[in-house]
A and B are shown apart, each in its own frame.
Chain A
Amino acid sequence: DIVVTQSPLSLPVTPGESASISCRSNQSLLQSNGFNYLDWYLQKPGQSPQLLIYLGSYRASGVPDRFSGSGSGTDFTLKISRVEADDVGVYYCMQVLQGGTFGPGTKVDIK
């Protein structure tokens, strides 16, 4: 089974600054079609998760361009530029290459 890890698990952020979350898998998520099968989700308090980034670097519909995904193979990064108060919640990466596996989550809150 593919195992996914994230770091850090907790991330206090200052509004207006940038923040980055790392996600690693124990197997490459890069397929021969050139796509990385890695998604990023945000779960705001009391809500269902919402898709931010799919296939490693593509923003989902309606997601602000402050959110960007990068990386390939086994190492990925979610970057939030100009953090806003509404960005707080738990961020999860999820591999979708073989079934699905979520990372443990990174809790983002305001300093």
Chain B
Amino acid sequence: QTQLVQSGAEVRKPGASVMVSCKTSGYTFTHYAFYWVRQAPGQGLEWMGRISGNSGNTRYAQKFQDRVTMTTDTSTKSASMELRSLRSDDTAIYYCVMEGAAAGTVYWGQGTLVTVSS
């Protein structure tokens, strides 16, 4: 059974950077992609971007284009997301999501709380 485990909660000051990682287990196929979603306290879901596991091609939401970098490690089928120049409104739970090879195959991580506060 495929599972995604994300790194632990982080606290950062405004202007700093944060990296959230996502490790998979149990996924045996070669085709996959990751995308990242965040959820501010009491708010809805916000799509941040996507990275192909095979090609490494990325597509970022315009809102994050200048501040985010998504990477993937094909040897471990893991992913990371770095967000820079943090602001207080970046405080949110960040989710890693893996798209499997078959349509409708989606796995979510447990979420990582990132708090930005001076």
Contacts and interface: CB of A to CB of B under 8 A. Distances in A.
Interface of A: 1, 41, 43, 48-51, 54-55, 58, 60-61, 90, 92, 94, 99-105
Contact of B47 (A50, A90, A102, A105): A102
Nearest to B39: A43
Interface residues of B, number: 20
Contact of A99 (B45, B49, B108, B109): B49
B104 A54 contact: yes
A1 B104 contact: no
Interface in B18-70: 35, 37, 44-47, 49-50, 59, 61-62
A54 B103 contact: yes
Interface of B: 35, 37, 44-47, 49-50, 59, 61-62, 95, 103-106, 108-111
Of A48, A60, A103, most buried by chain B (CB within 10 Å of CB) is: A48
B23 to A, nearest CB: 15
A99 B104 contact: no
B50 A100 contact: yes
Contacts of A103: 44
B47 A100 contact: yes
